[in-house]
Structure 1
């Protein structure tokens, strides 16, 4: 177990280094001019040469990329992610102020999409070939082919503009101080973005669960249970669901990366102040430090999801638990004969 944990810690460290190098290099090599993107073309043309040079030095536009990366990575090793030039504040404060909104949004969407997708997949498998099955598959195929921002725009027009049931955007009502915002206000503003992410994530979970459930219903032990007089629903409830748990857990934790990627577009559509919107702002403005910090946080979230899946595997299926090799296995690999191979002892 110690080797297992140590190997994952080493992989996590390598992942963070790779993400930092790739993100910093890509943003630095992008054609976006930080001065023009953040100051504006008209204001930039009206500046003097001295002020342009001062702003270029402030943004690090004239400093070689490797020097900026070495300085930034040195601060990262000390826990300093740098300063966001777009927000004019430390990157850690920008991420901390927006991480709660994004984590709450993704958490709700992750749970709802997993539970609803699993239920729809099981219902479709129990009604294979019937109208319910065709409706669920058609619903999932349409959602799987629809981009998240398009679904978000539709929900925004229907429920916020036409019906007026939900606010158009933002995470809190406009004009209220933080002390006056209630939990109900936050939930009301988060409803449409979370619903958009949930609808997008349902399709893959439902289709995958349906395929596995159809295989389970055609297995020998389900046939034996049906021969004993159990209905399809009772056989699935008693003997089939437990065999669907592990594939469902696998796919559900794999959804973390997809939900995080979808949240970037959804937050931009609904003007929801989360990490996704901050990443778009940093990318358009050439804010290397902020975008690199958000990339590190997102990579850590995805890695944590995969690690949690591996640990849950061991709880669901004991055969997948990381165990040390037995004494007989070590002796066999070392060339020592076993009782069956070395004759009578």
Structure 2
């Protein structure tokens, strides 16, 4: 029951913070996008190659792009209150439907990358902390520094060259075999084949961060009084490491992971473009290139809400790992 009470408090607090935060993000993003040159009508006219000035003016009037900025902002916020994210001139469909069609693919990719980064990063950090100062610690520290320093797009391209072109083991792009009629386990395995390279490309940077952070946190925790007490009780080093040290080291790692959700969504723009993954990142890139700012605003709003939810889940996890977190809230 105390855990449920802390979870309820966290949910209420998150809800109170989410509305003004999301509203502020929408307003600031809307105003900043007005400084971008051109609009969706300009791009559509350029692609058509035969648009007239009268036709372009009619299209701008249809989508409200000829109105003053504040009038457009008020109309957008009014639609937002009713759950309407607007209409996409480029795709000629509601933005809400367009985003929801891409959300599953983005959540699958970023979720897999985050889980992989946490498991591998924390595992490497535990090994480095257990082998502090030894050759294993130094080699893994250098490896994590390489992962941290190399740009994700370069890693993505090199993985394609190695595993797709040279070895032919994995597909170079897409989210599944085109025209495949596979179902069940066969469809899942086909999906996983296409996920391997983009997931690794997106997660390597975060693996390096979590590995180094877990190493530092565990080394610091090993010097605390509760660890010395556990040793005095005769507990094995392995049990002390996983039962006491690792649990306390998870607090800073999960905090940083919650903040990285937004960064992963931003990084997925590059990864999804390289691998042709049909997610929100690629949609955001297409929206920028097509000056479809209504779609871009919808993606920014959804991403901000996802980050808020992720941080709320991190708070709940902290209250489970360390009950003192919930107790401080109550005070």
Q: TM-score, normalised by structure 1?
A: 0.85
Identify the match of residue 110 of structure 2 among 95, 106, 113.
106
Q: 1:93 to 1:245 in 2, by over 3 A?
A: same
Please report how far the alpha carbon of residue 229 of structure 1 lies from its aligned counterpart in structure 2 after TM superposition.
Answer: 6.2
Q: 1:3 to 1:176 in 2, by over 3 A?
A: closer
Q: 1:274 to 1:16 in 2, by over 3 A?
A: same
1:86 and 2:86 are equivalent in the alignment = no
Which shows bigger deviation, 230-239 or 100-109? Answer: 230-239
**Structure 1: 5+ residue stretches without partners:** 326-345
Tell me what 2:127 maps to.
123
1:154 and 2:146 are equivalent in the alignment = no
Which shows bigger deviation, 88-97 or 157-166? Answer: 157-166
CA contact (8 A) 1:27 1:283 kept: no
Identify the match of residue 321 of structure 2 among 307, 316, 332.
316
Which shows bigger deviation, 252-261 or 66-75? Answer: 252-261
Please report how far the alpha carbon of residue 248 of structure 1 lies from its aligned counterpart in structure 2 after TM superposition.
Answer: 2.8
Cα RMSD, aligned residues only: 2.4
Q: 1:100 to 1:178 in 2, by over 3 A?
A: farther
Paired residues for 1:204-223 under 5 Å: 204-223=209-228
Q: Secondary structure of 2:34's match?
A: helix
Tell me what 1:11 maps to.
17
Tell me what 2:308 maps to.
303
CA contact (8 A) 1:32 1:284 kept: no
Q: Secondary structure of 1:182's match?
A: helix
Please report how far the alpha carbon of residue 32 of structure 1 lies from its aligned counterpart in structure 2 after TM superposition.
Answer: 3.5
Tell me what 2:78 maps to.
74
Tell me what 2:245 maps to.
240
Q: 1:59 to 1:78 in 2, by over 3 A?
A: closer
Please report how far the alpha carbon of residue 57 of structure 1 lies from its aligned counterpart in structure 2 after TM superposition.
Answer: 2.8
1:25 and 2:31 are equivalent in the alignment = yes
Which shows bigger deviation, 21-30 or 292-301? Answer: 21-30
Q: Distance in 2 between matches of 1:229 and 1:7?
A: 43
Please report how far the alpha carbon of residue 222 of structure 1 lies from its aligned counterpart in structure 2 after TM superposition.
Answer: 3.5
CA contact (8 A) 1:23 1:291 kept: no
Please report how far the alpha carbon of residue 225 of structure 1 lies from its aligned counterpart in structure 2 after TM superposition.
Answer: 4.8
Q: Distance in 1 between matches of 2:97 and 2:155?
A: 31
CA contact (8 A) 1:32 1:285 kept: no
Q: Distance in 2 between matches of 1:157 and 1:122?
A: 32
CA contact (8 A) 2:173 2:194 kept: yes
Q: Distance in 2 between matches of 1:196 and 1:26?
A: 31
Deviation per CA, 1:23-72: give whole Å up to 9, x if none: 2112222113433323326x44x433322322333454432221112112
Q: How many residues align?
A: 323
Q: 1:78 to 1:137 in 2, by over 3 A?
A: same
Paired residues for 1:163-174 under 5 Å: 163-174=167-178
Which shows bigger deviation, 55-64 or 273-282? Answer: 55-64
Q: TM-score, normalised by structure 2?
A: 0.89
Structure label with greater radius of gyration: 1
Q: Distance in 2 between matches of 1:324 and 1:215?
A: 28
Deviation per CA, 1:302-328: give whole Å up to 9, x if none: 000111111222122121115545xxx
